[in-house]
Structure 1
Amino acid sequence: MQLLSVLRSVVLVGAVLAAAPAAYAQIAPQRLALCAACHGADGNSQLKGIPSLAAQPKLFLENQLVLIREGVRDIPVMKGSLDGVSDAEITALAKYYAEKTLAPVPTDKDAEVFARGGKLAEGMRCGICHLPTYLGREQIPRLAGQREDYLLHSMQQFKNNQAVGRDSNMAASVYGVSDQDLNDISYYLARLTP
């Protein structure tokens, strides 16, 4: 089943790249297909625990790809996937996903949990770095509309000092925050329309 998904991604990505501007000429079709197998051909992940890359700030994506390639940010399932990738291809990949449109956010909304998550995010001043709209900027990721499971997992990694190769300011930001509060914040952010 996974192989079939990868093959579909290769065909779809090949068609996209064939019609793409020259700016994407640096991207090897098999590289984009590899990314698409987990992150979605349009950058919108359908897989649990896998972040959506669509509409993330280009500089953030570029930085993360370099950190992963250089082994500073350790993501076991991505080990080796960026070996030998040039800086030019990383820049093209970052641009490609930054320009993709984010899929619509989940429509199911528990008003109480959503309000509580919004109040927590505001009180923790998440909007100072991620912007009040939570769209991110430069090297700061977009949180609005990101997968809820991925947001929760990431914040738990920061809280438990397991986010190796990632911004240490986040560890301080979630220090002492309860798991329930992290759940509520993730719920809120995942349902924010960018």
Structure 2
Amino acid sequence: MRADAQKNRSQILTFARDAVAEHGADASMRDIARRAGVGLATLLRHFPTREALFEALLCTHLDALTRKADELETSAAADAALLTWFRELVVFTQGYRGVVAMMAAAHANPDSALYASCAAVHSAGARLLRRAQDEGTARADMTGDDLFALITALGWAVDQPSFKARADHLVHLITSAILTNRPGNNVGKAT
């Protein structure tokens, strides 16, 4: 890629990140191009669809979450690893308003530009959950799909202004329902 094209792409991603933080997944492509100082045609040449732009924008973070899961698998107790990763994923979803709906849709659509990154995050979470289940610290009746659905639901809830202030409490409630042997947790293991 030519240097000027690479510069335009980087600028677009930088300003897209800001626009998405302000306006969520409904950020205007025209506004992003204007903020980046490029024409709409230039933006569309780099990112022909909104989903392609989000894929490029989110891929870095999703890949980092996948690498974090790999690191936690070998460096932390199973329940602590799952809890740390779960919280980091929720923080990620809070940083990109509207991204949860895109991730949920991409998760079930192999043709989506976000599918591979979402599938990798889903798989990483499922591995962390299985490890905690094998050690007896997570509910035995959960699957990776259940975990992804709970993260999606929680991400949607904390994206709502009325629930944003309760995000930490909601994370605690959900993780307490997943992790069965944590201090102060009265949820029993499934039999």
Query: Which structure has the higher relative contact order (CA within 8 Å, separation 6+)?
Result: 1
Report the TM-score, using the length of structure 2 for normalisation.
0.30
Larger Rg: 2
Report the TM-score, using the length of structure 1 for normalisation.
0.30
Q: Which has the higher helix share?
A: 2
